[in-house]
Amino acid sequence: MGKIIIDENYAGADWYFMLHPLKAILVTTADIDGNPNILAVGWCMPCSHKPWRVAIAIHPLRYSHKLIAETKEFTINVPTVELAYQTQYCGEYSGRDVNKFKEAGLTPSPGKKVKAPSIEECVAFMECKVVNLFNTGDHTTFIGEVVYAEAEEDYIKAKSDSRTVPNRYFDPGAVKTLLHLGADAYVTASSELYKPDVPPPARSWKEQQLGKN
């Protein structure tokens, strides 16, 4: 047993398995008449502390790509394992063919600052306005600025003893995160907490953040 080379011949288009599991999210959109759609997304990450910004990579063939490009808005909804079926459904069917809210049995809740509805059954949502987009290969990466967000209060925990951020997180005992392994497979996070006892650096985390060299 040792490391093997992962190349075209070994992994084909699936080379990115090395970075999974990634948290699955549900991105909601609306067309210019307000008709909503949902797609499952694994390729999503925060990309700015302040302003609050997130990046999502969407393939141009997705119907949602057209809607986001047209409306410059989208909402990120956070599902849990209880919504694994609905997430997979929204990741296999296209809004060009079906009404995914109706077919997946999800409840739309009117958007606060964007046209796209959020999903009632999700534990959090972030409404975003597109501030930039990049062709990052065969996907377009949309950068969204968070203009409004809500999360289930009962599930939020805060650590008072943290010397670095984040000190707030969803209680893994209460919220079973939906992590996408790839294709139609998911896992969830264990609630085992790892808290490495790293000695504090000479310059505090905040000083480093402020860029004092």
Binding site for ligand FMN (CB under 6 A): 24, 37, 39-43, 57-59, 62-64, 87-88, 91-96, 139, 180
> 140 φ, ψ to 5°?
-100, 130
Choose between 93 and 170: whose C-beta lies nearer to ligand FMN. 93
Q: Shortest approach of ligand FMN to residue 184 CB, angstroms?
A: 7
Beta strands in the chain (DSSP E): 22-23, 25-30, 36-41, 44-48, 53-58, 73-78, 108-109, 118-119, 124-135, 140-151, 156-158, 168-170, 179-182, 185-187
Residue in the block written with tokens 């985390």: 205
Choose between 96 and 168: whose C-beta lies nearer to ligand FMN. 96
Could you tell me what percentage of the chain is helix, strand and coil, using 3-state DSSP and rounding each to the nearest 5?
20, 35, 45
Q: Shortest approach of ligand FMN to residue 102 CB, angstroms?
A: 13
Q: Shortest approach of ligand FMN to residue 57 CB, angstroms?
A: 5
Q: Kindly report the number of other CB atoms within 10 A of residue 75's CB atom.
A: 32
Q: Nearest residue by C-beta to ligand FMN? A: 91
Choose between 59 and 203: whose C-beta lies nearer to ligand FMN. 59
Q: Shortest approach of ligand FMN to residue 112 CB, angstroms?
A: 22
Q: How many residues does the chain have?
A: 213
Closest of 79, 80, 86, 111 to residue 100, by C-alpha: 86
Choose between 115 and 180: whose C-beta lies nearer to ligand FMN. 180
Choose between 96 and 163: whose C-beta lies nearer to ligand FMN. 96
Q: Shortest approach of ligand FMN to residue 106 CB, angstroms?
A: 13
